[in-house]
């Protein structure tokens, strides 16, 4: 499991990140533990206590998260990437604090590594990979494109434009798109319930792959 945001340094005291609270990813980790799975939770900085029983790996940047996932992915049956990885990072973070008196800095940005795309070649036939797609518009199209481009078995798409679901709140609604072409809706519910339903769908894929 990955969860939470990543932080990308601008200088020693400033960073760029996003509004991910980690709640959805932590809920999936808790659901997996409750179902009797061994769970490794690779987490960005969040204000949540990890579910008891998970192996917890704390990371800060997208590069850290990639290294942590790469190291552990061979050992897992199921990878769920719920982390909201920052898309861009300053190409040259300043070594010393930027002075406010110098005015707003011009920052040269570069993309962070795409973790799922980078590890896709390591995926074994018996493994199931699931991503998340947080979108404000064109949810279905974007989710299906990511499913294809990131070589996933499933992607859980959620609308982050509405205040009653998605980032930072306790409820969510998901549409799970499967590589096989089907989709399954999980109606607005506490994240724990969304997580349990997502996990069940992913367990079905895992079971088919192991046959
Ligand atoms: O491309 P986008 O960020 O919308 O894709 C979302 C999915 O891809 C999530 O599962 C997220 O954890 C994963 N991701 C990634 N590496 C990135 C950005 C996103 O693995 N650099």
* Substitution site in 69, 116, 144 for ligand 1 pocket (most atoms within 8 Å of beta carbon): 116
Nearest-atom number in ligand 1 for the CA of 2 is 12
Centre of ligand 1 to C-alpha 124, Å, is 20
- Dump pLDDT digits (tens) for 109-143: 999 999 999 999 999 999 999 999 988 889 899 99
- Dump pLDDT digits (tens) for 67-121: 999 999 999 999 999 999 999 999 999 999 999 999 999 999 999 999 999 999 9
- In the predicted structure, residue 203 carries a pLDDT above the cut 90: yes
Nearest-atom number in ligand 1 for the CA of 111 is 21
When pLDDT is cut at 50, 70 and 90, the band that residue 182 belongs to is very high
Residues marked as catalytic = 18
26-31, long-range: CB < 8 A, 24+ apart: 26/50, 26/51, 27/191, 27/192, 27/194, 27/195, 28/1, 28/3, 28/80, 28/82, 28/195, 28/198, 28/199, 29/1, 29/3, 29/54, 30/192, 30/195, 31/192, 31/195, 31/196, 31/198, 31/199
Centre of ligand 1 to C-alpha 102, Å, is 34
Portion of the chain with pLDDT greater than 90, in percent = 88
Centre of ligand 1 to C-alpha 81, Å, is 7
* Substitution site in 63, 65, 85, 130 for ligand 1 pocket (most atoms within 8 Å of beta carbon): 85
Domains belonging to the chain, first-starting first, are 2-91+109-210 (3.40.50.10300)
- Dump pLDDT digits (tens) for 12-27: 999 999 999 999 999 9
Nearest-atom number in ligand 1 for the CA of 134 is 4
Report the predicted TM-score, pTM, of the whole model to 2 decimal places.
0.95
* Ligand 1, CB cutoff 6 Å, lining residues: 2, 62, 81, 83, 85, 112-116, 131-133, 146, 150
Please report the pLDDT score of residue 166 as a whole number: 73
């Amino acid at each position: 499991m990955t969860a939470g945001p990543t932080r990308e340094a601008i200088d020693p005291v400033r960073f760029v990140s996003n509004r991910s609270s980690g709640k959805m990813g932590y809920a999936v980790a808790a659901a997996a533990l409750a179902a009797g799975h061994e769970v490794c939770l690779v987490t960005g900085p969040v204000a949540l206590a990890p579910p008891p029983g998970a192996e917890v790996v704390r990371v800060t940047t997208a590069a850290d998260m990639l290294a942590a996932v790469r190291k552990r992915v061979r050992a897992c049956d199921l990878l769920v990437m719920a982390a909201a990885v920052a898309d861009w990072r300053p190409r040259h973070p300043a070594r010393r604090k930027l002075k406010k008196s110098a005015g707003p800095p011009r920052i040269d940005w570069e993309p962070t590594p795409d973790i799922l795309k980078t590890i896709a070649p390591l995926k074994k036939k018996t493994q199931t990979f699931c991503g998340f797609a947080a979108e404000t518009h064109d949810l279905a199209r974007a989710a299906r494109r990511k499913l294809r481009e990131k070589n996933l078995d499933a992607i859980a798409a959620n609308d982050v434009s509405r205040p009653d679901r998605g980032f930072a709140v306790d409820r969510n609604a998901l549409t799970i798109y499967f590589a096989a072409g089907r989709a399954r809706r999980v109606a607005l519910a506490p994240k724990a319930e969304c997580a349990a339903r997502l996990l069940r769908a992913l367990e079905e894929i895992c079971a088919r792959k192991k046959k």
